[in-house]
Amino acid sequence: MSMALLMKNKLGFVDGSILCSADTDPMVPAWRRCNNLVLSWINHYVSHEIATSIIWVDYAITAWKDLKDHFLQGDSIRISQLHQDLYSIHQSDLSVTAYYTKMKILWDELCNFRPIPEWQSFAFYCVVSKKMKEYRENDCVLCLLRGLNDNYSIVRSQILLMDPLPSLPKFFSMIIQQVNPLLLVIMAKENLHIKVLRLVPQGGRFGAPRQCTHCGRTNHTIDTCFLIHGLPPGFKSKRVHNVTTNSST
């Protein structure tokens, strides 16, 4: 709602920066029209049950303050829940992108509940605000590092040794760069495992000989037994071949 009011250049009617002047001021009618417009927006965007509690309010700033006082009472509970979620979340089966996005959503909501205050001195505000944002970003990076899977232990150690800690975008870039080598290692291990399985003999001196459970003969299984499946096309028995050879001689 604040973003919509700011986009319409009407945020001052709810934060108190645009107040009504004396009745003799020629801009009073324009101010009242804008105030009523903002008040109608607020009534439109809240539910019917909530709108009934502010329907008789004359000023947008009063309605805004009433809603804020009423619905921000549970901030401490939500902040506590967000902290618990942030420190208990782990990557597990999530991809790095999904894990980062999930953590970022929780962190942004926590920052929304605890905004950085503004000071009158612009220079002082710039210095303090930058440092506070840096602290927050470092905390978020540490939370993300804590929840990564163990296969990122090397890059996790490298990031923890960095001073200062990287920003969130830089952190995400470093983790993504680690993903591709890990995938290559996993694929190489899987290919090696498949090759080893292919080299393992099925019978002979390295293992039990194959024996058909249907006819009892060796060197084949029931899946390829000729007595069940028949002879393959073009098959010639060695006995027939030997008889033909002897006759010709």
Answer yes or no: is 248 within a domain: no
156 and 93 together in one domain = yes
b or e along 132-145 (b: 16 or more beta carbons within 10 Å of the residue's beta carbon)? eeeebbeebbebbb
- Same structural domain, 218 and 184: no
Determine the pLDDT at residue 105: 92
89 and 158 both lie in a single domain: yes
pLDDT at 48: 85
Q: Are residues 6 and 92 in the same domain?
A: no
Write down the pTM of the prediction: 0.46
Does a structural domain hold residue 225?
yes
Distance CA 188, CA 201 (A): 22
Cα torsion for 192, 193, 194, 198, to the nearest 10°?
Answer: 100
187 and 82 fall within a common domain: yes
202 part of a folded domain: no
Q: Which domain holds residue 188?
A: 76-195
Same domain? For 80 and 190 the reply is yes
pLDDT at 247: 45
Domain count, the chain: 3
Does residue 34 fall inside a structural domain? Answer: yes
pLDDT for 168? 86
Q: How far is CA 221 from its chain centroid? A: 50
CA nearest neighbour of 143 among 194, 177, 107, 196? 107
Where a domain ends, among 71, 86, 113? 71
pLDDT recorded at residue 7: 81
Q: Which residue ranges of the chain lie beneath pLDDT 50? A: 184, 186, 193, 195-197, 199-200, 202-206, 240-249
